[in-house]
C-alpha cells in the first residue's frame, strides 16, 4: 500500500466516526486550532483511538493512545 492509498483508507475510516460536538474552551485562542468535535476511531485488530476534528477541518489522533495500541518502539540513539 502506498502513501496515497494509506491516506485514502484512513480518510474512509475517519468518515465513519461518530463526531460529537465539543464546547469551546473559555481560554481557547481564536488564532490557534482547537477541537470542535471528538470521536472514537475503530482500528481493526488494534482497538479504539480518540480522534478530534479541529476548527480548521483537520482531524487529529490522540497520539499517546495510538502509540500504546501499536506499541511503537522507536530506537534510541545507540540502536540506530
> CA-CA distance, 45 to 64, in Å (whole number)?
18
List, in sequence order, every residue forming a beta bridge with 37; answer none if it has no partner.
Answer: 21, 53
What is residue 79's predicted lDDT score, i.e. its pLDDT? 52
Taking alpha carbons only, the member of 58, 16, 23, 55 closest to residue 39 is 16
Taking alpha carbons only, the member of 38, 32, 40 closest to residue 53 is 38
The confidence band for 78, taking pLDDT boundaries of 50, 70 and 90, is: low
Strand pairing category for 47-54 and 59-61: antiparallel
Mean of pLDDT values over 52-69:
87
Mean pLDDT of the chain: 83
The DSSP element (H or E) to which 14 belongs, if any, is helix 3-15
Structure-block grid coordinates of residue 39: 470521536
Amino acid at each position: 500500500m502506498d502513501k496515497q492509498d494509506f491516506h485514502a483508507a484512513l480518510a474512509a475510516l475517519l468518515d465513519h466516526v461518530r463526531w460529537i460536538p465539543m464546547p469551546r474552551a473559555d481560554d481557547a485562542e481564536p488564532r490557534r486550532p482547537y477541537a470542535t468535535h471528538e470521536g472514537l476511531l475503530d482500528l481493526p485488530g488494534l482497538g479504539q483511538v480518540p480522534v478530534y476534528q479541529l476548527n480548521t477541518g483537520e482531524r487529529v489522533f490522540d497520539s499517546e493512545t495510538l502509540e500504546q495500541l501499536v506499541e511503537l518502539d522507536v530506537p534510541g540513539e545507540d540502536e540506530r
